[in-house]
């Protein structure tokens, strides 16, 4: 039973990751890009948990906590960047970022 | 318990598809919260109760609220109340509500099973995770702390209001 659950768990993680990737590639709205990034990070964490459950070890959960820290830092920086983008261009369209010239 | 796993997976996939296809950011956030909670239930069934709690508290709680704050901030100055009415029409609650209802039934079913049958695999509690975290992975904890500090500084710096040149303002109009 556990091996079946592990296969389906990894399949679920892969599907969620693919959905996040599709979201990043299809959406132009920066908020949605960041949301899709969250979905992808979460899917990666799910894969770690499934693997940790398969071998009954705590390492997978430890890795998930690191992913959680990365996600929190990434969201803070990303949202600050989105705020700046919006103040500068008055839109959330990611294409406007190509107007940036250092 | 395998049934709980499959139903929660189906809800996670369904709500994630809804997240990617919404036009409105707040609706997408609602569905993403449902997705995260169903993944938390999967963690619970997979024998990681501590991580399930963290998923609900940090992901579905803190990070999603951060997103919500920024979405609200971006629309500040416009006709905020009317905007909010458009954002949350009454029928918008139906989709996430049904999915959350199914999740609620699932968790009641799980809790009624008795303590021994919560997980389909061996349960690994917070004590073991903590021992691992502050044992061999202590350097990772310190690095994560440094990274969070760096993230805090960068976010504070970036969210300051800076004056742009008149030129860029005119270019956009």
The per-residue pLDDT for range B93-123, each reduced to its tens digit, is: 788 888 888 888 888 887 777 666 666 677 8
Shortest Cα distance, chain B CAs vs residue A19, angstroms: 7
Give backbone dihedrals phi and psi of B147, rounded to 5 degrees, phi first.
Answer: -65, -40
Written in H, E and C, the secondary structure of A18-57 is HHHHHHHHHCCEHHHHHHHHHHHHHHHHHHHHHHHHHCCC
- 3-state class (DSSP) for residue A100: coil
Return the structure tokens found at B35: 């997705």
Query: Would you tell me how many other CB atoms lie within 10 Å of the CB of residue B1?
Result: 17
Query: Which chain B residues are within 8 Å of A46, Cβ to Cβ?
Result: 39, 42-43
Number of structural domains in chain B: 1
Give the model's pLDDT for residue A4: 64
- Nearest chain A residue to B5, by CA: A5
Query: For chain B, how many helices (H) and strands (E)?
Result: 9, 0
Return the structure tokens found at B19: 């997240």
- What is the ipTM metric for this complex? 0.89
Domain of B146?
A: 2-172
Please choose, from the candidates B145, B146, B99, B35, the residue with its C-alpha nearest in 3D space to the C-alpha of residue A42. Answer: B35
Q: Is the pLDDT of residue B133 over 80?
A: yes
CATH number at residue B134: 1.20.120.1200
Q: How many Å apart are CA B28 and CA B87, to the nearest integer?
A: 11
Q: Which of B39, B51, B158 sits opposite A61 (nearest CB)?
A: B51
The mean pLDDT of chain B is: 82
Low-confidence ranges of chain A (pLDDT < 50): 1
Shortest Cα distance, chain A CAs vs residue B99, angstroms: 17
Shortest Cα distance, chain A CAs vs residue B159, angstroms: 5
User: Please, which residues bridge with residue A93 across strands?
Assistant: A29
Q: pLDDT digit string (tens) for B73-86?
A: 876 555 555 665 66
């Amino acid at each position: 039973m556990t091996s079946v659950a592990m296969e389906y768990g990894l399949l679920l993680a892969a599907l969620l990751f693919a959905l996040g990737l599709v979201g990043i590639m299809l959406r132009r709205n920066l908020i949605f890009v960041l949301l899709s990034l969250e979905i992808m990070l979460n899917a990666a964490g799910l894969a770690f948990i499934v693997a940790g459950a398969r071998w009954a070890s705590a390492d997978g959960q430890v890795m998930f906590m690191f992913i959680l820290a990365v996600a929190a830092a990434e969201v803070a920086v990303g949202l600050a960047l989105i705020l700046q983008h919006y103040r500068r261009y008055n839109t959330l369209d990611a294409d406007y970022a190509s107007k940036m010239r250092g | 318990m395998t049934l709980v796993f499959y139903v929660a997976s189906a809800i996670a996939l369904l709500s994630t598809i809804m997240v990617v296809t919404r036009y409105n950011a707040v609706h997408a956030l609602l569905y993403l919260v449902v997705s995260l909670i169903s993944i938390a239930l999967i963690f619970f069934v997979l024998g990681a109760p501590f991580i399930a709690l963290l998923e609900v508290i940090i992901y579905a709680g803190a990070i999603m609220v951060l997103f919500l704050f920024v979405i609200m901030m971006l629309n500040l100055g416009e006709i905020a109340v009317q905007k909010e009415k458009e954002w949350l029409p009454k029928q918008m609650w139906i989709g996430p509500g049904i999915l959350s209802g199914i999740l609620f039934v699932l968790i009641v079913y799980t809790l009624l099973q008795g303590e021994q049958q919560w997980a389909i695999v061996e349960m690994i509690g917070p004590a073991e995770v903590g021992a691992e975290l502050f044992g061999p992975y202590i350097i990772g904890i310190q690095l994560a702390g440094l990274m969070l500090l760096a993230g805090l500084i960068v976010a504070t710096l970036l969210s300051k209001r800076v004056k742009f040149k008149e030129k860029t303002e005119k270019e956009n109009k």
